[in-house]
Chain A
Amino acid sequence: MPYTAGDHPHSPSADRLRETIPGWGADLDPADRPSVPKERLDLETGAHWDMPERQPETTPRERSIEHRMLTPVFGTAQPLHGVSGVIRRYAYARFSEGRAAHWLLLVAADRVEASGAHLRSLASLRPDNPVTETGVLGEGRRRPISSRFGRGRADLGHMWLDPILVAGPWIVAAGVAVAVVRAVVRRR
C-alpha cells in the first residue's frame, strides 16, 4: 500500500518473464531504444543538402503565418478554390495556429466546401451517393448484428447518432428544396 514505503506491487521475476514472453527485456537497456535520447545529432538521414532545393510555386500557396517563408517542399493537392478557399485563405493569412479562430474558420470552411461539393455533384455525371459512399452496403457481409449487440460495447449509447449526422443534412436540404418548389408553385 502506498501509505508506507513498502514494496512495489508484485510482478513475476525477470527469469520467469524471459521464459514466458518472447523477447522480454531485449530493450531493457535504454541504449537499445532507438529514440533514447530523444534528440541526437549523429544520425544519418540521407539528406545531401544543407537546405533543400525549392519546389516551384506555380500557384499562390497558403501558409501558416508562423512560417517566415513558404516551405521548400509543400503539398499541391486540392488547391484553394471558391468560397471555402476565401475562408481558408483568410484563416491562414490572419490568424496564427495559436488562435482558436484559425482552426474554427478552417472547420467552417470544411463544411462549406462539403456542402458546395454535394450540390455541384448533383449537376455532374457522378452525383454523390450517400448509400455507396458511406459504405453501408457492405454491412451484410460484416455481421452487423452480432458485431454490435450482446458484446458490451460502450459506443452503443451514441451509435444511433451516426445515421442522423450523415443523412440529416440531406433530409433537411431535400425538405427545404420541396418547400421552395411548393411555394413557387402556389404563387403561380
Chain B
Amino acid sequence: MKAMVYRGPYKIRVEDKPDPVIEHPNDAIVRVELASICGSDLHLYHGMIPDTRIGHTFGHEFIGRVVEVGPSVQSLTPGDRVMVPFNIYCGSCYFCARGLYSNCHNVNANATAVGGIYGYSHTAGGYDGGQAELVRVPFADVGPSVIPDDISDEDALMLTDAFTTGYFGAQLGEISEGDTVAVFGAGPVGLSAARSAWLMGAGRVIVIDHLDYRLEKARSFSLAETYSFARHPDVVVLLKELTNGLGTDVAIDAVGAEADGNLTQHITSAKLKLQGGSPIALNWAIDSVRKGGTVSVMGAYGPLFSAVKFGDAMNKGLTIRTNQAPVKRQWPRLLEHIRAGRIAPRELITHRIPLDEIAEGYHMFSSKLDDCIKTVVEP
C-alpha cells in the first residue's frame, strides 16, 4: 500500500509499505477514504515528539471502509463505512470503564502517561496512522462507528478529532451562562472550541491569534470577536482592558507546543527542542483569566518539561483542566448538533490534496500558506 512516511524533521515522502494485517482478534483493517492533517501532526513533523521513528506513518484523523475484521469482532463487517476516533482504547480498563477513553492503560506499551493514538509516534503507542491507503484499527468493537447515512463524509472526518477536541475543550472550561471566554489559537481546534463555547452559554467569545485569515475564519465560523497578538504589544493587558480589568472567566489553550509570540520560548522549544512545548499561549491564558477562573488545555505538548508560569496559576486560585478528548463519548451529542444545524464542522476544511502530494500539504500547513486551515488527504 501507499503511505506517508516520516524521514526526519521537516521531511516526509510517500512510500510503498506492506499492507497492515490482523494482529489481535479484535482488530480491523480499514481502507482509508479521507484523512486529514492535524495541527498536532506538525509537532511530529517538526521533530518535537520523542520517539518518532523513521518510517512512521502519521495520521489520526480518518474515515474509511472496513476490508477485514478479526475473529472476535462483532459490531463491524467488511464493507462498513466507519469514522475512527483518534484514540485507540480497549473499553475495559480502569480508565475506559470511567469514560476516560483517551487515557486507556491497555494500548500504549511505551508510556503510561499517554493513551494510544494512531500515527502519533511510539510515545503514543507505535501504531501507524491513517495518512495511508490502509490502516490497522485495534479494538474494532470499541472505537470505530458506522457513519450515519445523513452525515456527510467531511463532517464525519472532522468529528474524528478536530471539532470534537474543540467541543471537549469548551466543556473543560466549565462555562456558565454569560461567561467571557478567551480562546488562544484559531486553528481548527480553537475555532471549534470558540464555536462550542456559544453552545454552552458563553456571553462573549474572544479569539486570539496572529494570522489574519484565521481570525477572519474565527469571525465567520465561530462568530467570535478577534484580536491579533501581533498587533497588540501585550495580550494580557488587552484582555484585561476588554473585561473591565477583571480578566476572562474562562481561557482555552488551543495552541499547544509550537505557540508563537515570544521568540525565546518558541526557539527553545519548537526549534531547539529544549522544552516539551512553547507554553506562550498557556502562560497568556493563566495571566489573562480572572482570579478563580478556569483554564482549559487541549493544545498538545510533548512530555518534556515546559516553562509554565505555575506560580501565577496557584496564586490566582485557578482551575486548570486538561486532557486529550475522549472522542467517541462526544459523538452522540455532536451528531445531534449537526442534524439540528447548530454546527457545521465541514466548514473548517480549506484544502484537498491527493496522498502523493502530502509533502507539499505538510509544508503548506506548517508555513501557513494559501490561507490553509484544514487539509484533507485523499489516498
Are the CB atoms of A103 and B50 closer together than 8 Å? yes
Are the CB atoms of A74 and B126 closer together than 8 Å? yes
List of B residues within 8 angstroms of A41 by Cβ? 97-98
The contact string, 1 if C-beta is below 8 Å from chain A, for chain B 170-204, is: 01100001101000000000000000101111011
Instruction: Report the separation of the CA atoms of residues A35 and B326 in the bound assembly, to the nearest whole angstrom.
Output: 8
Known: A73-B106, A154-B210. A25 touches B201 (CB 8 A): yes
Interface size bracket, B side: 35 or more
Are the CB atoms of A154 and B230 closer together than 8 Å? yes
Distance to closest chain B CB from A15 (angstroms): 12
Instruction: Report the separation of the CA atoms of residues A40 and B95 in the bound assembly, to the nearest whole angstrom.
Output: 10
Interface size bracket, A side: 35 or more
Interface positions of A from 73 to 119, Cβ below 8 Å from B = 73-78, 84, 88, 92, 97, 100, 103-104, 106-107, 109-110, 113-114, 117-118
Are the CB atoms of B11 and A165 closer together than 8 Å? no
The contact string, 1 if C-beta is below 8 Å from chain A, for chain B 108-131, is: 111111001000001101111000
Are the CB atoms of A40 and B92 closer together than 8 Å? no
* Chain A interface mostly: loop
The contact string, 1 if C-beta is below 8 Å from chain B, for chain A 158-187, is: 110110011000000000000000000000
Are the CB atoms of B203 and A12 closer together than 8 Å? yes
B106, B200, B261, B341: which contacts A33 (Cβ < 8 A)?
Answer: B200
Known: A24-B198, A154-B261, A166-B9. A47 touches B305 (CB 8 A): no
* Chain B interface mostly: loop
Instruction: Report the separation of the CA atoms of residues A137 and B356 in the bound assembly, to the nearest whole angstrom.
Output: 13
Q: Does chain B have a CB within 8 A of A48?
A: yes
Are the CB atoms of B363 and A136 closer together than 8 Å? yes
B142, B180, B204, B212: which contacts A46 (Cβ < 8 A)?
Answer: B142
Q: Does chain A have a CB within 8 A of B342?
A: yes
Are the CB atoms of A52 and B112 closer together than 8 Å? no
Q: Does chain B have a CB within 8 A of A50?
A: yes
Instruction: Report the separation of the CA atoms of residues A38 and B322 in the bound assembly, to the nearest whole angstrom.
Output: 11
List of B residues within 8 angstroms of A75 by Cβ? 109, 116, 122, 125-128
Instruction: Report the separation of the CA atoms of residues A26 and B127 in the bound assembly, to the nearest whole angstrom.
Output: 37
Distance to closest chain A CB from B49 (angstroms): 9
A–B pairs, 15, beta carbons within 8 Å = A2-B245, A25-B198, A26-B199, A27-B199, A27-B201, A35-B168, A45-B89, A48-B74, A97-B303, A100-B304, A114-B9, A138-B364, A141-B370, A147-B370, A166-B11
Give A residues with C-beta under 8 Å from B: 1-3, 8-9, 11-12, 14, 17, 20-28, 32-36, 38-41, 43, 45-53, 55-56, 61-64, 66-67, 70-78, 84, 88, 92, 97, 100, 103-104, 106-107, 109-110, 113-114, 117-118, 121, 128-130, 132-139, 141-144, 147-148, 151-155, 157-159, 161-162, 165-166
